[in-house]
Amino acid sequence: MIVLRRGDKGTFVALLQERLNFHGHYLGQDGDFGRKTERVLRDFQFSWNLEVDGVCGDRSWGCLLQSKSLSKGGVFVKRRAPEILGERLDLVKGGSVDGIGLCKVAIRDLGREENPWGRNKGNEISHLVQGTCITGVESIEFSEYKRHWGIGNKKFFPPWCAIAVSSWMAEYFEASDWGDIPFGNWFGGVTQTMKWGDRHVGGLRRREEIGDCLPGELFVMPRSGSGSDGDDGDGAKIRGGHIGIVMWDDGDRVQTIEGNTQNGVRTRSRLKSSLWGIVNWELVIREEGWE
């Protein structure tokens, strides 16, 4: 979720205050992150054995959103959060129609999870891992991605962060074939995506040249520390990377929407210094004359 600190104002702050009230730390809901909100948040962090810094980041949100043992926020995440994030995206300066549109397609899936956890599949995410909008397949008996690429062990589903990005692109562009999305195929690998971007000047900005980021750009990072799953269910450990979509720039961080993070579709605040780089797919397709 969004990183909040003293001095911030708006809908997300009001939501923070609402969740603090839910957990019995009472204060007004005025949408102003002032001294009292910071103090109450510190009390909450102390009671949950979190780092007591008065800043509401991913770990604090994860605890704040708990309700009746639903660790990811249940109905709130699946209904209200996408609406709030969509409103926030509309305020981002410099974002393109396609970049913001891709983000909005992805946030519709926020909170959807694997079932069972750790198996890279489930009814809630079947349209992502199976590329349903193109393949038409909803069943999760065999991996359509592996079938597409001629990979064995189709009963075991591979990590799906990059697969989801391709599926979101297909949904946004209303593609009828994988050749109709910017990648030109059903990408499912981080290295594959980086090499594709690196074919053009500016298509892949590596860590030291990331700079300002725009909605819809793709971030790539090491799997370690990303919260992404680490195997495809058959015991074969995956040591590749992790990928997702940038929603907006936040100084030394980017706010993201991504799949295969803690077994579901999540938002995260990622330090730019933790990334391998940024893939600007819109620049690449302009260079290629893609329409």
| Triad 122, 159, 188: Cα angle to 5° | 110
Q: Which residues of the chain have pLDDT under 50?
A: 68-71, 229-239
Task: Say how far apart CA 167 and CA 180 lie, in whole Å.
Answer: 12
What local confidence, expressed as pLDDT, does residue 77 receive?
58
What local confidence, expressed as pLDDT, does residue 197 receive?
94
Alpha helices in the chain (DSSP H): 11-22, 35-47, 58-64, 75, 81-89, 97-107, 126-129, 132-135, 144-149, 161-172, 190-198, 281-287
What local confidence, expressed as pLDDT, does residue 237 receive?
40
pTM: 0.80
Query: C-alpha distances in angstroms, 181 versus 143, 169, 170, 197, 279?
Result: 20, 6, 6, 14, 15
What local confidence, expressed as pLDDT, does residue 54 receive?
94
What local confidence, expressed as pLDDT, does residue 207 receive?
93
